[in-house]
Structure formats: C-alpha cells, structure tokens
Amino acid sequence: MMKKPSGPLLYIGQPHLQPVQPVMQEVVKAGAVEPAKTAKPDVEKTGPGSASGILKPFREMDTTEKVLYLAKRRIPVPCRFEWSDSSVRGTIEKFDEVHVWILDEESHEIVPVPIAEILHIRLAGT
C-alpha cells in the first residue's frame, strides 16, 4: 500500500519575493513665502443662499430659488410640482426666466410650466 501524503494536494509554485522597502518621506524646506494679499475677492451671488455659501433649507426657498437649486443638481431630484390648474411629479429638464420644462415620470412627456404659476414644489417622499 502507498502512504498518503500528509500535506495538501494543491501544488502552486510560489515566487520568492524580496520584502518591499517603502521610500520614506523626505523633508523639504520652502523658500521665502510671499505675504498673503489682504484684498478680498469680489463675491458674487451665484444662486440660492447667501454670499457666504450657506444654503437655505429647501422649505425656506422661494419658487425661483427652488427651481435654480433643482436645475443645477448633477443628479435630477424628483419633485411634485403644483400650479393653479394641475400638478405633475417629475424632474426639471431645463428652465429660463419664464418657464420650467418638467419631465413627467408617468407619461415621459415634457411639460412646460410658467414659473409664476407654480404654487408648490415638494421633494418626492416629503
């Protein structure tokens, strides 16, 4: 009878690698540093919120601020848009100073709505 081997029957050739020695961080000194300019840059208001960059809570924004906020998001946010004679659930496709074009989730049609007629914009799920 043959004697069974005591180790595993899987034979994989393992390479003999040398341990890796990491390159340590070097210390570098900078030359003379110019003093910082004391002039403050002109701050423009680029959307909803104050000039300091703090964004108002969504429920405190007016309709135009909500439209700007939702339209400039990278990922479309589904909302319920309500106006005097109808409402639609969808996302903003585009807008200008007068109209908002909303992609209806149910019909997949784009619905133009005058901004002045929008009564409420509610985030989906709220």
Q: What is the pLDDT of residues 56-87, one digit of tens each?
A: 888 889 988 999 888 888 888 899 999 888 88
Contacts for 100 with CB less than 8 Å, ≥ 6 apart: 67, 71, 81, 92, 94, 112, 113, 114, 115, 118
Q: Which residue ranges in the chain fall short of pLDDT 70?
A: 1-12, 14-17, 27-28, 32-53, 126
- Domains in the chain and their CATH numbers? 77-126 (2.30.30.100)
DSSP secondary structure code for residue 32 in this structure: P
Give pLDDT, residue 76.
87
- How many other C-beta atoms are found inside a 10 Å radius of the C-beta of residue 34? 6
Query: Which residues make Cβ contacts (< 8 Å) with residue 54, sequence separation at least 6?
Result: none
What pLDDT score was predicted for residue 37? 56
Predicted pLDDT at 36: 57
The percent of residues in the chain predicted with pLDDT above 70, rounded, is 65
* pTM to 2 decimal places: 0.54
Instruction: Count the Cβ atoms, other than its own, within 10 Å of residue 66.
Output: 25
DSSP-assigned letter for residue 41: P
Burial class of residue 3, CB neighbours in 10 A (0-12, 13-18, 19+): exposed
What pLDDT score was predicted for residue 35? 59
Q: pLDDT at position 49, please?
A: 46
pLDDT of residue 4: 61
Of 75, 82, 113, 81, the residue nearest 95 (C-alpha): 113
pLDDT at 24: 74
Q: What is the pLDDT of residue 42?
A: 43
Q: Residue 66 is inside which H or E element, if any?
A: helix 63-71
Residue 53's pLDDT is 67
